[in-house]
Amino acid sequence: MAERMALTGLLDQLDGADSGDKIHLQDIIDNFASRGFGPLLVLPALIALLPTGAIPGVPTLCGLFIATVASQLVLGKRTPWLPRRLRERGFSHQRFHQAVARVRPWTQRFDRLLKPRLQALTSPLVRRLVAALAALLALSMIPLELLPFAAAIPALAIALLGLGLAADDGLLIVIGLAVVAFGAFAIWRWLLP
């Protein structure tokens, strides 16, 4: 990994992008495609996880974005792309800016924890398996948007998995998998009392 992955830096870079009143999904590709697929999974997951995720339609947009990008990683694509209708969608730059300002103290603390470890869990095969799981989780965000903040569980898992890929941090991948297991167990308990 050439440069150290920093969650705060990713959010600040997207927030500082000259995209006008609206941040389009294509802006995420334009700003982060050169850094690999990890940030392209992390940023939309965080957008769905932050207060911006409470805006109707945002979790669905983020889920479609993640599913599209993660599927391309599974297929071994080198550069991601979005269909025209998806790349033109977006959300309020001002609301994103406010959310980033609120979470910055937390992301700065989290950045200190990111480091390469358990790198056997960041091999090319594991990356594809993680991407396949991320695509499935992203698709689950679409119906979960109907329940207030329910899409936050798969969004959190995807953010952790994406950060693990971006930072070559296998421990984060393990934690992301634990969030998936916890979410699945909670849904199972809720459906079958």
Report which of residues 191 and 99 the model is more confident about. 99
Instruction: Give the predicted TM-score (pTM) of the model.
Output: 0.82
Beta-bridge mates of residue 23: 91
Is-contact 93 22, C-beta < 8 A? yes
Predicted confidence (pLDDT) per residue in 23-66, tens digit: 888 888 887 776 777 888 888 998 888 887 778 888 999 999 99
Helices (H), 50-169: 58-74, 84-87, 93-111, 124-144, 152-166
SS3 content of the chain, % helix, strand, coil (to 5): 75, 5, 25
Give the model's pLDDT for residue 5.
Answer: 64
